[in-house]
């Protein structure tokens, strides 16, 4: 019975990021394409939107963390936000993919307003959700288990959203029409609402932590938290890696992969042809992410979180470089898919690893500085995720614009071709640029001090500290 309750909590916690990731992956992988090719913004303006909105996020994330740390309710500190913010979360997503029939300037204002709203609401639910990991158990290894369930369900949600996105758009109005994108988001947003309510019902905060210091002291302690600084840098690199590749895929398939490209295989002696499109490529990646998540706990337990992090990023670098040299051919399509599977398995290992490391940094802060600032620390992880997404998405769009990428469908329909420089840029955005980012992550984590042995010492000291009421 106890084991069943634990599994229910693990699954319930996973439902939360399943919901968040369904939104986040659609935003990361399709929103740039939506803004430039459906909504009607220039690459330059779309890139600026992705970046500028993060200025507000830089303020709202820590604010939300501080607010959540000081919340007291019968449901705990962080859990009530799952219940009350969930409806706003879904509504904001629908508004984001609404295309008003206005002039360019008015539409640009609408894009800014709805994107800022979406990211603010995302902060309002995702920061408390992430911080819950720090109060659901005191055991460092069990936090990795929670984190792995979280990411397994997150990638499951991402698979569903990405695999169905283009078919949903086509079925509900058309992939090239604003109405198709709006209707598809209504379906996704409704599903996300239900998942967050399930997360609220199935989870429970087990630890009672109280912040007994001022907000200024919390920030002062955070600034002196060296492992936090290093992990922020590493997490930013990881999110940059994922976003640069992800935001490029829709463009890569639109301009480098033929519209009728297929994967040929034999099934029980019968030839079978499968359409090779962006949604398939991305959704296969999400399934592979789930496989990677399943291996995170045994790998981290066997080799330690820091060593695992470094080994994974070195592998990501090598595979990314290899992707550049894959030809556009029948054989090449299969090689691309194999590379996507391997890269996604590795990023699947990384995701729960990073969240678990944030929980370790939170324990380090409580033991070292006597401050229960779990929400503030986890808000920084959300901030790193958003900055990584903003910089990665904006950089991809600006690079494409700099190399002459054509977004005007009428120009392309008239027979114009994408410049060769733009096509080479697309290939680099899928290969050399992410590879460079992963190497930076390796260098940063090499200095990360919270090894397995160090965390065992911190856990023992923290338990004594909590028992003594300090």
Q: Is the pLDDT of residue 222 over 90?
A: no
393 or 316, which is more confident: 316
Confidence band for 410, pLDDT divided at 50, 70 and 90: low
* More reliable by pLDDT, 382 or 265: 265
Question: What are the boundaries of each domain within the chain?
Answer: 2-467
**432-465, pLDDT tens digit by residue?**
999 999 999 999 999 999 888 888 888 888 888 7
Pairwise CA distance, residues 344 & 291, whole Å: 9
Angle between helices 305-324 and 432-445 (to 10 degrees): 160
Q: Which residues contact 33 (CB under 8 A, 6 or more apart)?
A: 250, 251, 254
DSSP alpha helix (H) spans, 34-103: 43-69, 80-96
5-34: burial string, b at 16+ Cβ within 10 Å, e else: eeeebbbbbbbbbbbbbbbbbbbbbbbbbb
- Average pLDDT over every residue of 223-232: 86
Please determine, looking at this structure, whether the domain spanning 2-467 carries the CATH number 1.20.1250.20: yes
What does the pLDDT look like over 3-30, one tens digit per residue? 677 888 899 999 999 999 898 888 878 8
Residue 167 or 325, more confident: 325
How buried is 436 (Cβ within 10 angstroms: 0-12 exposed, 13-18 middle, 19+ buried)? middle
Is the separation of the CB atoms in 132 and 78 below 8 Å?
A: yes
Kindly report the pTM of this predicted structure: 0.73
Q: Please report where in the chains the tokens 């380090």 appear, as a residue.
A: 364
Q: Which helix (H) or strand (E) holds 266?
A: strand 262-267
Distance CA(463)–CA(470), nearest Å, equals 10
């Amino acid at each position: 019975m106890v084991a069943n309750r634990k599994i229910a909590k693990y699954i319930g916690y996973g439902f939360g990021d399943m919901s968040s990731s369904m939104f986040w992956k659609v935003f990361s992988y399709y929103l740039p394409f939506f803004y430039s090719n459906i909504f009607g913004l220039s690459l330059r303006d779309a890139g600026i939107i992705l970046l500028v909105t993060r200025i507000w996020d830089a303020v709202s994330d820590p604010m939300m963390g501080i607010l959540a740390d000081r919340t007291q309710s019968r449901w705990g500190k962080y859990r009530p936000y799952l219940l009350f913010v969930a409806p706003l979360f879904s509504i904001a997503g629908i508004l984001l993919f609404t295309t008003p029939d206005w002039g360019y300037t008015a539409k640009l204002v609408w894009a800014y307003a709805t994107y800022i709203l979406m990211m603010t609401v995302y902060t309002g639910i995702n920061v408390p959700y992430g911080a819950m990991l720090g109060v659901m158990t005191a055991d460092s290894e069990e936090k990795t288990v929670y984190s792995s369930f979280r990411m397994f369900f997150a990638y499951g949600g991402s698979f569903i959203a990405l695999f169905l996105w283009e078919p949903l758009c086509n079925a509900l109005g058309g992939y090239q029409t604003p109405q198709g994108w709006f209707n598809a988001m209504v379906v996704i947003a409704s599903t996300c609402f239900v998942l967050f309510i399930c997360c609220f019902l199935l989870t429970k905060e087990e630890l009672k932590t109280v912040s007994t210091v001022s907000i200024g002291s919390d920030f002062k302690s955070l600034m002196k938290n060296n492992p936090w600084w290093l992990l922020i840098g590493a997490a930013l690199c990881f999110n940059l890696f994922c976003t640069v590749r992800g935001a490029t895929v829709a463009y890569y398939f639109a301009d480098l992969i033929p519209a009728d490209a297929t994967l040929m295989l034999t099934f029980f002696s019968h030839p079978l042809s499968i359409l090779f499109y962006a949604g398939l490529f991305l959704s296969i990646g999400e399934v592979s992410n789930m496989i990677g998540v399943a291996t995170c706990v045994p790998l981290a337990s066997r080799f330690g979180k820091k060593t695992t992090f470094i080994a994974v990023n070195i592998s990501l670098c090598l595979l990314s470089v290899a992707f550049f040299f894959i030809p556009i051919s029948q054989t090449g399509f299969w090689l691309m898919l194999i590379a996507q599977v391997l890269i996604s398995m590795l990023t699947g290992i990384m995701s729960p690893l990073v969240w678990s490391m944030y929980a370790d940094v939170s324990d380090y802060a409580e033991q070292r500085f006597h401050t229960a600032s779990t929400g503030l620390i986890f808000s920084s992880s959300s901030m790193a995720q958003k900055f990584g997404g903003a910089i990665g998405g904006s950089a991809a769009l600006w690079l494409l614009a700099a190399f002459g990428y054509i977004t005007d469908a009428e120009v392309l329909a008239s027979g114009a071709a994408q410049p060769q420089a733009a096509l080479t840029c697309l290939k680099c955005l899928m290969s050399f640029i992410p590879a460079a980012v992963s190497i930076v992550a390796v260098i940063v984590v090499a200095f990360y001090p919270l090894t397995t042995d160090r965390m065992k010492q911190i856990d023992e000291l923290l338990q004594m500290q909590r028992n003594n009421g300090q």
